[in-house]
Structure 1
Amino acid sequence: MKYLGLAYFTPEKFAAMSPAAVEALVGQCPARDDAMRATGKVRLAASLGDLDGWKTLRSRQGRTQVSDGPYTESKEVVGGLFIIDADSPEEAVRIASLHPAATLGEEGGWAVELIPMEFHFEG
């Protein structure tokens, strides 16, 4: 089964951190990301771009309306994602728990949401 992991952060909490605290926190991420990938079960991992570059597309009166920024109502914002190909839900949780957002960053409001999913590919 495949699982989508969404890594969240709370922009206000992250912005309130000192630059040194942010650097110390982010500096721990590569080793934890490497540990997660070392399981051989991670099919994709990505950090998402700065919020300033985000666009939201919605249908309005039969047309697609494009707005700047993330406009989904939420205190948290998705900052990264990963896909795990796990043999069981327990294995998916074990692997996802290696992600930095699941183990670090409480002061930045980090969290991981793990969602079972199906893939549909063309071609």
Structure 2
Amino acid sequence: MKSKLLSLGLFSLTAVSPLFIPSLTPSASAGCVGVSAGTQISISREAQQSTRVNRQFSPNCSGNSATSTATQVCVNNGRCEQRRTVNQSIQGGNRTGYDPVKNIEVDVNVPVHVKSPRAPR
């Protein structure tokens, strides 16, 4: 009789434990995400291509993101100069928890230079 009650008690405890375990564990928190994706295409004899990303996250930033995309195309017989500047200020709710969570920064900027022959004079 006692073993049946013990089995029933353990079964009942394991059946309802998923309902209580989440309340005993700290919640997960995520930081913020900043993304810069750009392409610079130059068809010229010479090219100067640059991308500069300035990004700031608010303290304890959580649950927000910013994405910047751009395409620059220059076709010239001489020189192409392409400059791209990205300014992102990302703010979000305050995260809490024991482990500090880092913000994510993704920068994919592709310069493409196709060297063209000299233009006829």
Q: The TM-score by the shorter chain falls in which range? A: under 0.3
Question: Structure 2 length normalisation: TM-score?
Answer: 0.23
Question: Structure 1 length normalisation: TM-score?
Answer: 0.23
Q: Which structure is richer in relative contact order (CA contacts within 8 A, separation 6 or more)?
A: 1
| Structure with the higher helix share, 1 or 2 | 1
